Amino acid sequence: MLKATLDLLESRQGEGVRMSDIAKRAGISRQALYLHFATRAELLIATTHYLDALKGTEARLAPSRAAATGIERLDAFVVAWGGYIPEIHPIARALLAMGASDAAAAQAWDQRMRDMREGCAAAIDALDRDGTLSPDHPPDEATDILRTLLSVRNWEHLTIDCGWSQVRYVETLKSLARRLFVASN
């Protein structure tokens, strides 16, 4: 079911993906699908977690979580999330497109962004604990700014619209994050 959902979201870019379409692709009845997932939102959220498992998100985040300093954690999180965006971009684009008129898709994307914000908060909190967080932004504000910098829409603009390479994107965001959030000596 989750693979069928992911396949349909990616191939149709979110257009017209109904529970009946997913059930048909999965080879089950729509009623059987609803036995596993009471709502479309539950299914879409589960699909984003399935994608994370396929792409090895936990392993990608391990360097950030194991970082010895706040600066290392910030750098590692920017690298992990910045490198992940191109891999999840098809489903992100689908959920964002659907979200304007589909509450379940909007809920699934909002959950994804809450999860990503937790990673941003962990990086900023590590800087704060180390005493290296810039006094220019309190932790909550710094977390919001980092989450905005690392948004899929910003990635799209810089890499797709402006033609930046993925390497340039990650290195620039890492440099910006350090300049914004690490206190000057």
pLDDT digits (tens, 9 = 90+) for 121-142: 999 999 999 999 999 999 999 9
Its pTM stands at 0.84
User: Of 154, 149, 160, 136, nearest to 74 (Cα)?
Assistant: 149
Measured CA to CA, the distance from residue 43 to residue 71 in angstroms comes to: 36
Q: 27 in the Ramachandran plot: left (φ > 0), alpha (ψ -120 to 50) or beta? A: left
When pLDDT is cut at 50, 70 and 90, the band that residue 185 belongs to is: low
pLDDT digits (tens, 9 = 90+) for 169-180: 999 999 999 999
Output the pLDDT for position 74. Answer: 98
Q: Which helix (H) or strand (E) holds 34?
A: helix 30-36
